[in-house]
Structures are given as C-alpha cells and as structure tokens.
Structure 1
Amino acid sequence: MRRPTVRTLLALVTLATLAPSAAAQAPAARRTEWLYVWATATDTARTVRATRAARRDTTPPRRRGVVLLTVDLRPASPTRGQVTDAILADTGGRHAHHTEHALASDGLLFANDFGTGRTHRFDLRTPGMPRLLGSFTTAGPLADPHSFVRLADDRVLATFQTRVAGGAPGGIAELRRNGTPLRWASAAAPGVDSTALLPYSLEVVPALDRVVTTSTSMTSDVGVHVQVWRLSDLALLHTLALPPAPAHAGHTPGDGETPNTGASIAHDSVHHRYPGEPRLLDDGRTVMLGTFTCGMYRLTGLDARVPRLEFVHAFPGADCAVPARVGRWWVQTVPVQRALVTLDVQDPAHPREVARLAFDGATYPHWLAADASGTRLVMDGGATPTDARLHLVTLDRGTGALAADASLPVIDLSRVSVPGLGVVRALPHGAVFGPGR
C-alpha cells in the first residue's frame, strides 16, 4: 500500500457455486495457527491524534525500529491472541511497510522498510519461530524496493520506485530468494514523463506471459499509469494512463465523511489517480486494480496489440488501500466509511456490493490479507501512527458476508516487549497468516 498519497505520507480458490456449501466455504488448506506482523516500534508514552497531518514520518511518537511480531492463533493455546515472539530487524528502521500478501510455499517472507529503502528477509518455515535472514536495498541500478510477488520457481519479482543514481524512473527486478538480483528492467517509456513512472505494486499473469505494475510515488502526489511487461524477458510492452472516471461514479456526493472533520466529501472525477494494488481474477486473464483515490479499473486484452483499461467502480472518500481478492469476492478497505466492503466481481465490468463490515471511529482500514482458506482476513490501519490494533475478520465464501471473528476479533499491540528495545507500541502494517506444524 502506498503511503496513501503525500497528504498521508509515510506516516497505504476459485468459487464453484454461490450456495454456501462446505465446498464453497474453503479449499483444503493447512490450518492457520500463526500471524506474522511487520510493525514499526514506537515509544508508548505519547499518543498522537490520528489526523492526516499527524501521519507524517516526522511526527511523534518516536520511532525506535522495525520488528516482526509473531501472534499465536492456536485455538487451544494458553497464549492465544498474544505476541509470543518479537524480532528486532533494524533499530534504524523508519517505516514498516509492505510484506508479501501471503506466505509463500517456501516459508520465506520479504518485508519492506520503505523509510530506509531496505527490505528484510525472514525464515518462517518453523511455525511460530521466525528467523531474520538478512536484507537488501538495491537490484542492479534500481533502488527503493516496494512490493513483491512469487514466481512459479519461488523466485521473486519486485517493484523498485527509483534508481540508485537517484529519482525516477524506477523499474522491476527478478530476485533470488536471498534477495540478490538476476535481471532487471527500467520503467522508462517513450513519450511518457519518466518522473511519473515509479513502480508501486504488481501482479503476474502466467497464462499470458505478462506482468502488470502500477505506478504511484511513495513520496509525492504522482501516479496515473499502469504498465504491462512480458514476464519471460521483462520487456516493457505498454504504458497506459488510467482514464478519468465519471463525476460521482458509483456513489453520491457526501456519501461518507472525511476521517478528520466529519465534513461531507465533494466527489469529482479524480478516482483515476494513484493506482495501487492489481489482482488477477479467476479467469487468469483479467486484472482488476484499485486506486488510492478509491476507483476500480478493469484491465483486459493483456495479450492484444493494445490492452484495454476501463473504469468500473468507485468508493467514496480517499486512501482506499489494500484489497483481498478471494474467488469472486473483492474485499476493499474504505477508510472514510471505517469499513471493509465486499464486491462481487464475477462480472468484472459491473462489480456490485454484497456486504459491508463497519468498525469504530478510531479505525482507519488500510492493510488486508487473507489466509490460505480464504475464510479469514486480517486488517489493520497501517497508515496511522496511533492504531496499534489488528482486526480479525471472517469471510463467508458462499455469500461474501463479513463478520468480526467471534472468538478473537481484535489483537492489541499497544504494549509489546521487544528484545533490545523493551516495551514498545507496535504499529502494524504488513501482516500474513502462517500454518501450524
């Protein structure tokens, strides 16, 4: 997720039928027993009001490093819901940001500290007992890694926002599991301002030999492009500008309130700015993506001469960040509504809302990830410097309905003991589920 725009800078399976049958509820998967949380460790003494101005990198509370926390989710465990392990990755860490959105089959996790431009690697192969393996900052001429996806051979494809030499354009790189680069490519495109090309997140489309990246800056209000690459050789094929959305698309003016003031939002045609997270749909050919200005776009014809990028939906407000796509359901964080919203995207040209789960007024939904079954989600307010809570949510794969986890709805990280730091307030950002033994 983006730092959701400079205004909020640094501080953002398949379903067989609609019937809620056992088969529709979840595929076979190893039981989720652990939650790994990438967090910024801060002082506990001071609390800052969660306004957009307060979510800047220079605002107290004082940051003391980045940590990986392990939370016990085992149903019968006496430490269920508690932090059982904490690894201090870097005392100089500034901004625990993206991790991978799901734990890869090799049990390794890439976790990004965008404030320092450093990504840390963790070994999670022993459930509940992670190890820090190392870190990296660059790939050839590229710097500031941001997002990561796994390829079929467990190699890693990553976006990089900038160049080692400084500034945009960034690019993408294929990495070994130890973080060393194998190959890379620049996002520079003929006829497009290179300073606007800062790869943010990505999705792989294996059936079409394609990669889709979004372009949104983490440090300035820049970003309106999507790029299409050939996976086999990382050749850049297309650079597409998101078309503006119709005014008040998908909602009415004032449908929601601003997080700070409660004032009504005046919506206009800005839903195309700051593209964020792309996700491949079940057909293996269509990619949907959201923007931090709360628009949704459908990308088709990825193997055609010119792919088609079209607006299909919008939510009210701003700073819509990380979604979870589970079968036909697209679950979106919508901060202005303090809610998660489920869309049915079986017809991706016409998404429709089927469910909504609202949280208290102090919650600013940002990060979202699903477990291997697709029936359990973790959400946090990764863009705020005050909300140290994780919310566990259940998803009905038959209907798309959302509910707070009845047995463990909230995990509080406001006082966590970290070796080398003592007791800290842990502000979560990336989080992934892990299986048991």
Structure 2
Amino acid sequence: MVSTTADMWAEKLGTSFQVWRLSDLTLLKTVRLPEGPRGDEHTDPAEIRLLADSTTAILTTFTCAMYLLHGLDTDDPRAELVFVLPWEDYETDDCGIPVTRGRFWIQAYGHSSGSALISMDMSDPGSPRVVDELRLEEPWWPHWLSLEPEGDRIVVTSNQGSALHRVLMARLDPETGALALDSTFRDPGAEEPGVRFDRASWPHGPAGPGRPHGAVFARPER
C-alpha cells in the first residue's frame, strides 16, 4: 500500500511517499520525491492512481507535478519526475484530484491564466502526452473529479470563488480522450450549465447554502 504526505491545510511541508505492508500496516519505506528544475515540484504530494495495467502507479503533487513510481514491491522504491504543469503559488495555481479511464489521465488544473480539465495519454507512463483540454471560464477552479463507473460522465467541483456552490458535468470520449462540457446538466430553467447548491431549503431542512467538495457515483442496486 502506498500513501502520500500532504498535510492539507497545515504548512504544506510534505515531500515524500510511504510504502506499507497491508496485512499489518507496517511501514516499509519512506521515500523523498526528487526535486525538479523549478525546485518545488516535489512539495505537497497529493494523489496516487494506478494505470490501466493495475500495476503502474503515478503520484501527483498539488504543485502540479507527476511522478512515476518504480520498485514498489522491492526494498528500494523510487520516484521519477515525468511531467510538470506551470505552477507558481498556492493562491493562484493548483492541481486537484485526477481520474483515469483506460489509457487516459484526466487532471483538474486551476491556474491564474485559466483553468481546465487536461486529458493525457498515458500509453508511455514515462512521457505523458496531452491530447485535449477543456477550458473552464472564471470563476471555475476545478478541484475534485469523479468519473462514472463504466461510463463517460465526470463530476467537477470547484475550490474557489462563486463557483464553490456549483457542480458541473463533463464528458470523456474513452477512445480519443476528448473532453466536452455537458450543457444539458443544469438546474431547470437555468441559463448556464451546472447545478447550484446555494439554496436555502433541503430535504433535511433549511440548512442554508451547501459547498460541494468531494463527489462519487453511487452504483444502483442489482
């Protein structure tokens, strides 16, 4: 089992990942991520995802780097920096939660010059290749993505500004990696895509505006 060391709302001092034995949760190894040319790529390690082969592991950082993990089943695991997106400051830039489908990796990317969902072909894990970008208008700052099991829908939540109270839906072409906004996903009578959570009344009572953060698809009962 592999975990990251992001300290979320604290000082963001994490720079490593850890390998554990699942049977008894014994810590086997702590591995520091190598720095990149920018000097901060290795800070704030965030998410780890397995690729389609269920063996190859990619680690991302909130500072927008991707690391290919090697030797996780050996005594000498290590990380290789394989891809970096522009990042300057936590106030303006962020790489959020990714999802994978087949050979494609979809990355939530918030940046001062414009936010997007970025689709990458991971056929060569050591050299991710961008195949499409779904640009999102301000104030969208995509943070959390959730991919429909065995489907093509991607739920998108935001981490900044007035979009904090809205949820978008995107679509992924599993053959090409192309991304598109689902403009049919909207409140009844709304002029813009998305569903709003800044409402006063809910099924459980008048609880005030909601701030959607994480999202998952619920599987129907069989």
TM-score range, shorter chain: 0.7 to 0.9
Tell me the distance in 2 between the aligned counterparts of 1:400 and 1:298: 20
**Counterpart AA for 1:427:** R
1:127-146 C-alpha deviation (Å, 9 max, x unpaired): xxxxxxxxxxxxxxxxxxxx
Tell me the distance in 1 between the aligned counterparts of 2:20 and 2:110: 32
Q: Please give the residue correspondences for 1:134-213 in structure 2 after superposition, counting only pairs within 5 Å.
A: 211-213=1-3
- Alpha carbons of structure 1 residues 392 and 306: separation in structure 2 relative to 1, 3 Å: same
On the 8 A contact 2:46/2:62 being kept in 1, the answer is yes
* Aligned residue in 2 for 1:23: none
Is residue 89 of structure 2 the alignment partner of residue 322 of structure 1?
no
* Secondary structure, aligned partner of 2:150: coil
1:181-239 C-alpha deviation (Å, 9 max, x unpaired): xxxxxxxxxxxxxxxxxxxxxxxxxxxxxx01000112222110100111222111110
Tell me the distance in 2 between the aligned counterparts of 1:231 and 1:436: 30
Is residue 19 of structure 2 the alignment partner of residue 228 of structure 1?
yes
On the 8 A contact 2:50/2:58 being kept in 1, the answer is yes
Aligned-pair identity (%): 41
On the 8 A contact 2:139/2:160 being kept in 1, the answer is no
Tell me the distance in 1 between the aligned counterparts of 2:207 and 2:195: 16
On the 8 A contact 1:285/1:300 being kept in 2, the answer is no
Equivalent residues, number: 205
1:309-334 C-alpha deviation (Å, 9 max, x unpaired): 11000111232110011111110011
Once superposed, what is the RMSD of the aligned Cα atoms? 1.6
Is residue 72 of structure 2 the alignment partner of residue 302 of structure 1?
yes
Structure 2: gaps of 5 or more residues? 88-92, 186-192
Name segments (4+ residues, structure 1) moved above 6 Å.
none
Tell me the distance in 1 between the aligned counterparts of 2:151 and 2:21: 29
* Aligned residue in 2 for 1:217: 7
**Counterpart AA for 2:23:** S
Q: So what's the TM-score if we normalise by structure 2?
A: 0.87
On the 8 A contact 1:225/1:239 being kept in 2, the answer is yes
**Counterpart AA for 2:65:** G
1:243-284 C-alpha deviation (Å, 9 max, x unpaired): 0112xxxxxxxxxxxxxxxxxxxxx32111100010011222
**Counterpart AA for 1:323:** P
On the 8 A contact 1:300/1:308 being kept in 2, the answer is yes
**Counterpart AA for 1:274:** D
Is residue 117 of structure 2 the alignment partner of residue 347 of structure 1?
no
Is residue 176 of structure 2 the alignment partner of residue 386 of structure 1?
no
Tell me the distance in 2 between the aligned counterparts of 1:331 and 1:292: 15
Of 36, 47, 60, the match for 1:290: 60
* Aligned residue in 1 for 2:199: 415
Tell me the distance in 1 between the aligned counterparts of 2:50 and 2:220: 28
On the 8 A contact 1:300/1:309 being kept in 2, the answer is yes
Structure 1: gaps of 5 or more residues? 1-210, 247-267
Is residue 144 of structure 2 the alignment partner of residue 360 of structure 1?
no
Residue 418 of structure 1: how far off its partner (Å): 2.8
Tell me the distance in 1 between the aligned counterparts of 2:110 and 2:84: 13
Greater shift, 419-428 or 301-310, is seen at 419-428
Is residue 115 of structure 2 the alignment partner of residue 331 of structure 1?
no
Q: Please give the residue correspondences for 1:39-50 in structure 2 after superposition, counting only pairs within 5 Å.
A: none
Is residue 43 of structure 2 the alignment partner of residue 270 of structure 1?
no
Larger Rg: 1
Tell me the distance in 2 between the aligned counterparts of 1:228 and 1:423: 42
Residue 401 of structure 1: how far off its partner (Å): 0.4
Structure with the larger RCO, 1 or 2 (CA within 8 Å, 6+ apart): 1
**Counterpart AA for 2:128:** P
Is residue 29 of structure 2 the alignment partner of residue 238 of structure 1?
yes
* Secondary structure, aligned partner of 2:214: strand
On the 8 A contact 1:323/1:331 being kept in 2, the answer is yes
Residue 427 of structure 1: how far off its partner (Å): 1.1
On the 8 A contact 1:215/1:275 being kept in 2, the answer is yes
